[in-house]
Chains A and B, each alone.
Chain A
Amino acid sequence: MRKITQFRPGGSLVLVLFAVYMLVPLLATLNFSLTLGENYTTVAYEKLLRNEALFEALWHSLLLATLTVLGSLILTLPTLYWVQLKLPQAKPLLEFFTLLPFIVPPIVMALGLIRIYSSGPFPITGTPQILVFSYMMVSLPFMFRAIDNALQSIDTHTLTEAAQSLGAGTFTTLRYIIIPNILPGIVSGSLLVFSSALAEFALANLLVGSAWTTFPVFVSNVGRADGRQAAALAVISFVITWLVSITILWSANRAPGQNNISLNR
């Protein structure tokens, strides 16, 4: 026990190097967005804040990210729970599916999606809907891994049977037993999905483009005209992601009975 509390210079050095590596690009971006030649100026931010398109793009992206997280949760959580309980043989197949988005390059995926959804029963190319669905696909591995790990770290099978013997149906068991006990996994999966959806550019640009501008597409458009504004946008988007993360983590920690779980892990 004593070793853990001891000051270890090696460990601190690693931590400092890590912080430098992460912070330097951010600080450089911040610096660039605030300078014009030799002088400090906030003109880039002022221009941006007067641009209504920014807020529209931001709103689009936040909406998109939220819907992606919800859709992904609704799809992944019950499926994994069910597979873990009743169909463990299907697990390797699921894992293969979740790796597909990593194997197929975004450009290929975009072309495929356009081909399928330009006509036929679901002509949704160019609409925000196609982005939600394709983001759910692309971010599936994050949600899948996080929830799968969490489900494996508790005795899902026996806990479910214990709940059933006390009168709980499947929904009640999920709501009161499974979800509270895998909340850390749900939170970290959601965070990953949320931030990846917020930052996605290639699919948004190819599938929808200026028909329904998302934040990264907006950043790219602005960047072509004014690099300083683009840097300011990067800073803004970092702050937003950071705020959202803090909010989710904070609300998860306030959930009843949750403190003990994070201590337990």
Chain B
Amino acid sequence: MSFLVLNQLKKAFGTALAVDNFELEVAKGELVTFLGPSGCGKSTTLRIIAGFETCDGGQIWMNQQEITHLPANRRKIGMVFQSYALFPNMTVAENIGFGLKLAKEKPPIIKKRVNEMLSLIRLEVLAQRYPHQISGGQAQRVALARALAPQPQLLLLDEPLSALDALIRRSLRAEIRQIQQQLGITTIFVTHDQEEALSLSDRIVVMNQGRIEQIGTPFEIYNYPTTNFVASFIGTLNMLPARVTNAAKGEINLGGHTVRVAGPLSQSDNTEITLALRPENLKIVEVEEEGLSATENFVHAKVKEVSLLGAVVRVRLSLAEVLLELDMFNSRHLTLPVPGAEVKLSFPIDSGLILTKPNTTIP
């Protein structure tokens, strides 16, 4: 049995379902993120696990024990909040030691452990400061140390980086991941930032409207989305209207071109579908290389707009009346496409995803 098991969790506020049939198993030492748009029920699920919110149905098992009805203060679950929630009346050291004090540890042990935690977050010099005397990034590290000091069985973080600026956010993200791996603590991290989720998770749970859309590694979630929602929520995606022309051979009509996708398709001929293509899977090519036509599609398009995003150049093109975006790596020797020019595009036949109705599972 996994370390943490969430079995059919349900929660409604009035008539609105905030969490619907939530099922998840988390292995010991794993870092799982809940990712989804605002209001999809990430915090509510986390708060049910923490014991701050009751659930209307389902069970929670941790370390082979059912904790569904255990009060929050007896669950041994550490929590980090978006707003830090440090105790203003206590110094940094007292904040970190508070959980140990409640556990009736002896003062020398508390002192030793507080010092360990302070060195873990590299803030030894701030031990005697009060929360209003430290920066947001420092406060969140203290909050992390405070949650970890009593050696909880599980660590929960609810958008811990959202209140910080971009630079601190990125470095603290790496620091949290490093500390998590060093201590091997089972962790659930809530975020609505996909870059955050992709970069630090062992697995991602993508949520939408209280339900789980997909559970998978960052690689699986990005490259093999199983629902329309996941495909369009993670990364940028060209959603191109197309029509099935030969389902058996996997041929579709895209803006007048016949292109192939990994077939055979389950849709019948003449079904209107959406072809989803990631901008980085499209390439501008000079000539159609004969040898590649078995694995690549080639289509003609017109350049509309070119914008430099830094490491990446994003090109907007039109393919008949269909608009799409293409990403190419920036380099000093790159010849930028010129708006108005006719170009030849290629994309691997297995890079396209076929989407039918919104929010249905991709076959």
Q: Interface on A for B, CB 8 Å cutoff? A: 154-155, 158-159, 161-169, 172, 176-177, 180-181, 256-258, 260-261, 264
Contacts and interface: CB of A to CB of B under 8 A. Distances in A.
B313 to A, nearest CB: 44
B72 A164 contact: yes
A220 to B, nearest CB: 44
Given A164-B52, A167-B73, A154 B88 contact: yes
B89 A161 contact: no
A161 B130 contact: no
Contact of A161 (B79, B88, B90, B99): B79
Interface of B: 50-52, 71-79, 81, 83, 85-91, 94, 98-99, 102-103, 130, 132, 143, 146-147, 150
A159 B87 contact: yes
A260 B132 contact: yes
A162 B73 contact: no
Given A167-B74, A261-B88, A162 B81 contact: yes
Q: Which of B50, B72, B75, B143 has the most CB of A within 10 A?
A: B72
Given A167-B73, A167-B150, A172 B102 contact: yes
A249 to B, nearest CB: 18
B89 A165 contact: no
A167 to B, nearest CB: 4
A159 B98 CA distance: 13
A167 B81 CA distance: 16
Contacts of A162: 79, 81, 85-87, 143, 146
Interface class of chain A by DSSP: helix
Nearest to B81: A158
A35 B259 CA distance: 112
A168 B132 contact: no
A265 to B, nearest CB: 10
Given A176-B87, A181-B88, 14 more contacts: A155-B83, A158-B83, A165-B75, A166-B73, A166-B147, A166-B150, A167-B102, A167-B150, A172-B102, A176-B98, A181-B89, A257-B91, A257-B130, A260-B130
A50 B130 CA distance: 53
Contact of B79 (A165, A172, A176, A177): A165
B78 A180 contact: no
Contacts of B77: 165
Nearest to A182: B89
B83 A177 contact: no
Contacts of A159: 85, 87
B81 A161 contact: yes
Contacts of A169: 71, 73
A181 B85 CA distance: 13
B96 to A, nearest CB: 10
Nearest to A161: B52
Q: Which of A159, A167, A256 has the most CB of B within 10 A?
A: A167
B100 to A, nearest CB: 9
A180 to B, nearest CB: 4
B88 A166 contact: no
Contacts of A181: 87-89
B90 A257 contact: yes
A13 to B, nearest CB: 35
Nearest to B47: A161
Nearest to B90: A257
